[in-house]
Each structure stands twice: as C-alpha cells, then as structure tokens.
C-alpha cells in the first residue's frame, strides 16, 4: 500500500468517527450528581463498555451499546433512589419526624438549597406515607 493510499485510508476513517472524536453514531450521558456519575463510569468500566469522557464529565459511547448502557443507568438510579419529603412548616416537620421515631422508622435529614428534606428507606414508603398523610390531615382540621 502506498503512502498516499494509507493517508487517504486514515483520513477516511477519521472522518467517519473512528479517529477518537465523537461521531454521529455516538450517544452521550451525564448524571448531574457527581457521585452518581462516578458510579456510572465505574459500571461502564466494570462491564467493559468502551466510552470516552469529555472535559465536563459527559460520557460518550457507541449508540450500539445503548441498551446495555441504559440498563446500567437505570440500575444506578434505582440504587440511589431515596424517597424524601420537605415540610414548609417546621412544627409539621417536627411532628412528622417524631411520628417516624415512634414508629421505629429510620430517617435522615438532608439539606438542599437551605431546606430540610426528610429521607427514609424505600422499603418504609407505605408506612411513611400513612404517617405523612396523618400529619397533613392535622392542618386541614
């Protein structure tokens, strides 16, 4: 193969997206949460899915891998799901957390944007929802 033919082959491959940049056949994704994004990248590596990371942390991967990548994204979302509720009234929040304690339901308080969010385990959703409704009903009476 002559040097000219090799150069044309390399130029042709680069223009089709095989030269290291993102191509039209690539998909990209980024979680806004840096911890979730780190889990996503680790999962891609663990599964052996080829990807590139852009400067802003966005992951670019071949569109043919979308089904596998989508499964990983959903698994990460499912693992990180934490039900939460925010009361605008501090007295209602206290009443709610006191009721959670009395029922033996573990919870955490998270601060987001200056607001308290009460977070609990998804397995307690049904019990927590009943307590939340009871607390909210006290303000309508």
Predicted confidence (pLDDT) per residue in 15-65, tens digit = 333 334 455 569 999 998 888 999 999 999 999 999 999 999 999 999 999
pLDDT at 22: 54
pLDDT at 80: 81
Is the domain spanning 84-139 CATH 3.50.30? The answer is no
Q: What is the mean pLDDT of residues 69-75?
A: 94
Helix/strand/coil (H, E, C) string of 64-125?
HHHHHHHHHHHHHHHHHCCCEECCCCHHHHHHHHHHHHHCCCCEEEEEECCEEEEEECHHHH
Class of domain 21-80: alpha beta
pLDDT at 3: 38
Same fold, 21-80 and 84-139: yes
* Domain positions in the chain: 21-80, 84-139
Residue 131 neighbours by CB distance under 10 Å? 20
Predicted confidence (pLDDT) per residue in 96-107, tens digit = 999 999 999 999
Predicted confidence (pLDDT) per residue in 76-96, tens digit = 988 888 899 999 999 999 999
In the structure, what pLDDT confidence band is assigned to residue 2 with cuts at 50, 70 and 90?
very low
pLDDT at 124: 94
Q: How far apart are alpha carbons 97 and 134 in whole angstroms?
A: 12
How deeply is 139 buried, as exposed, middle or buried, from its count of CB atoms within 10 A (0-12, 13-18, 19+)?
exposed
């Amino acid at each position: 193969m002559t040097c000219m033919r090799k150069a044309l082959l390399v130029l042709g491959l680069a223009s089709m997206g095989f030269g290291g940049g993102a191509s039209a056949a690539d998909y990209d994704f980024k979680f806004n949460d840096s911890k979730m994004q780190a889990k996503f990248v680790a999962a891609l590596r663990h599964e052996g899915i080829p990807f590139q990371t852009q400067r802003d942390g966005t992951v670019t991967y071949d569109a043919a891998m979308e089904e596998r990548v989508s499964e990983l994204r959903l698994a990460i979302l499912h693992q990180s799901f934490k039900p939460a509720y925010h009361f605008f009234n501090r007295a209602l929040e206290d009443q709610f957390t006191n009721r959670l304690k009395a029922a033996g339901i573990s919870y955490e308080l998270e601060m987001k944007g200056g607001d308290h969010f009460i977070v609990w385990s998804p397995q307690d959703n049904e019990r927590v929802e009943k307590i939340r409704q009871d607390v909210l009903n006290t303000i309508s009476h």
